[in-house]
Amino acid sequence: MSLFLIIAAAIVAAPPAAASPALQPRGTSVLASDAENRWVPFELTPGNQLRFSLEIDGRPATAILDTGVSYSVLSRRFAEQAALKVSSGGSATAIGGMVPIGWTATRKVSFGSLIRHGGGLAVATLPALATGSAEPVDLLVGRDLTERFALDIDFAASRFRLLPSGRMPFRGFTSPLSVSRDRLVYVSEVNLGAARLRPMIVDTGDGSSITVTADGWAAAKINGVRTTTTVSFGLAGTVTSTIGIVPALRMGELTARNVEVRVEPAGGFSETIQSAGRIGSGFLQNYRVLLDPTARRMILAPGATADQPPLRSTSGLLVGIDRDRLRVLHVMRGGPAERAGWVAGETICAVDGQPISRDYAASPLATWSADKPGRLVRLRLCNGVERQLVLQHFY
């Protein structure tokens, strides 16, 4: 998988409107007695999110594990197919703006060791683009389903499980963790340069690494970091941000090195919801992670990729899969593609003579956009024109 196919983010913060899920029945959640053995396998989407299977009222469904969502969000498509009654009239804050939401009652939601009886789910349109995949998912599993328990995410083994709060299944570095009172999402804090940034949303649904506000970046006073531009995709649209790699940052007891940081524009999503930024799965996947807000701690055990320089684009093209072609979503500032005149919206049907297939995201072909500097890549546009691009480091 190429990290640069698309990096997605999807965050919903539920408001206190009449149709808000906050005013609806919560249901009763229990864990099985053998919770330690109830691992849930997941796969990373091209957008770097954790996709897995579960059941909603006995119907199989696909889901994204998203601790940056206040209330779990069901797709309108699934609700219609299941003939669920949806109450409407609310809205929520998401990356890119506001989205309309509804609410539907459910009898049972189950995955791994968890069963929730009763309660319900927020309902919204969940586009495939928000997961960086050709296929949309049915549910964003949010804070309301997981906060009472310890969430153990084993990225190396592509699995997670829910345990009773207070369990310590492994040792690592401790960082503070809680659920914010206002937005009802997982939050922690980060020390970046000269700045202590808090609250930082701990967001497994955000495929990027670390995201901070423009004010937070200015307060950090980090010099000498080369930057470019990138895009994030949320439920409400697209946002362009600045991106660079910082030498180090601290998160509680942990000092992390070679960390990719995005800087949102002034007035961006984090600023809108009075947050200092987000800690996404692009960062968390370098560790085994325990999220236990009831015990007020996050445990991070470094994996094999911790502190290694992150994969970075050498082409300057961010592309998304559109069936049998790649669509240029963003041309990064200062990169080879910008200098060669590429523009967003162009489509690529072949790379070095190989056509784009449905399994492109998992194929070796997908690594071209972040391959070694100096490589010459032949890209055939879908209008038949062929271009050449010489890869290089530019940030």
Residues 252 and 349 in one domain: no
How far is it, in rounded angstroms, from Cα 52 to Cα 44? 9
Can you read off the two tokens belonging to residue 35?
A: 């919770």
44's tokens: 């990373």
225: amino acid identity, one letter? V
Q: Give the tens place of pLDDT for each residue, 320-349.
A: 888 899 999 999 999 999 999 999 999 999
Q: Specify whether 144 is located in the same domain as 90.
A: yes
Asked whether residue 167 carries a pLDDT value surpassing 60, the answer given is: yes
What residues contact 157, with CB distance under 8 A and at least 6 apart? none
Query: For position 234, which CATH number holds?
Result: 2.40.70.10
Domain final residue, candidates 302, 326, 356? 302
Residues 6+ apart with CB under 8 A from 145: 29, 72, 109, 114, 116
Calpha distance 346→313 (Å, rounded): 18
Rounded Cα–Cα distance for residues 279 and 261 (Å): 10
pLDDT at position 5 over 80? no
Q: Does the residue 339 lie in any domain?
A: yes
CB–CB of 4/319 below 8 Å?
yes
As a whole number of angstroms, the distance between CA 133 and CA 323 comes to 10
Bridge partners, 333 (sequence order) = none
Q: Count of CB atoms within 10 A of residue 213's CB? A: 22
Same domain assignment for residues 383 and 298:
no
How confident is residue 61, by pLDDT bands cut at 50, 70 and 90? very high
Q: How far apart are alpha carbons 93 and 96 in whole angstroms?
A: 8
Q: What is the CATH number of the domain that holds 375?
A: 2.30.42.10
The answer as to whether 211 is a domain residue is yes
Same domain, yes or no: 159 and 39: yes
Highest mean pLDDT: which range of 13-22, 87-96, 358-367: 358-367
Q: Are residues 187 and 155 in the same domain?
A: no
Is residue 79 a part of any domain in this protein? Answer: yes
Mean of pLDDT values over 66-74: 94
- Name the residue among 32, 57, 28 with its Cα closest to residue 117: 28
Indicate whether 247 and 280 sit together in one domain.
yes
pLDDT at position 296 is 98
Q: What is the pLDDT of residue 99?
A: 83
| Alpha-carbon distances, residue 129 vs 5, 47, 278, 393 (angstroms) | 11, 9, 20, 27
pLDDT confidence of residue 15: 46
Residue 133 domain-assigned (yes or no) = yes
Of 67, 298, 359, 342, residue with least CA distance to 175: 298
Tell me the pTM.
0.90
Domain identity same for 348 and 323: yes
Residues 177 and 155 in one domain: no
Residue 321 has what pLDDT? 85
User: Could you tell me if 248 and 296 lie in one domain?
Assistant: yes
Does residue 4 lie within any of the structural domains?
Answer: no
Q: Per the domain annotation, does 218 fall within a domain?
A: yes
Task: Tell me phi and psi for residue 373, to 5 degrees.
Answer: -60, 145
What is the rounded distance in angstroms from the CA atom of residue 29 to the CA atom of residue 12?
Answer: 22
231 vs 81, residue with greater confidence:
81
The C-alpha atoms of residue 75 and residue 316 are separated, in whole angstroms, by 33
User: What average pLDDT does the structure give for the chain?
Assistant: 91
Q: Burial, 46: exposed, middle or buried (Cβ in 10 Å; 0-12, 13-18, 19+)?
A: buried
| pLDDT value of position 228 | 98
258 domain-assigned: yes
Instruction: Tell me which of 133, 163, 193 is where a domain ends.
Output: 163
- The DSSP-derived string for 78-146 is HHHHTT---EEEEEEEETTEEEEEEEEE-SEEEETTEEEES-EEEEE---GGGGTSSS--SEEE-HHHH
Separation of alpha carbons 254 and 251, rounded Å? 5
Same domain for 142 and 193, yes or no, is no
Q: What is the pLDDT of residues 91-143, one digit of tens each?
A: 777 776 778 889 999 999 999 999 999 999 999 999 886 665 668 999 999 99
Structural domain of residue 219, as residue ranges?
A: 173-302
The CA R_g of the chain, rounded to the nearest whole Å, is 21
Q: Is residue 7 part of a domain?
A: no
Residue 16's pLDDT is what? 47
Statement to judge: residues 246 and 152 lie in one domain: no
């325990």: which residue's tokens?
290
State the total domains in the chain. Answer: 3
What was the pLDDT predicted at 135? 81
Q: Are residues 18 and 154 in the same domain?
A: yes
Tell me the CB-side half-sphere exposure of residue 168, using CA atoms within 13 A.
9
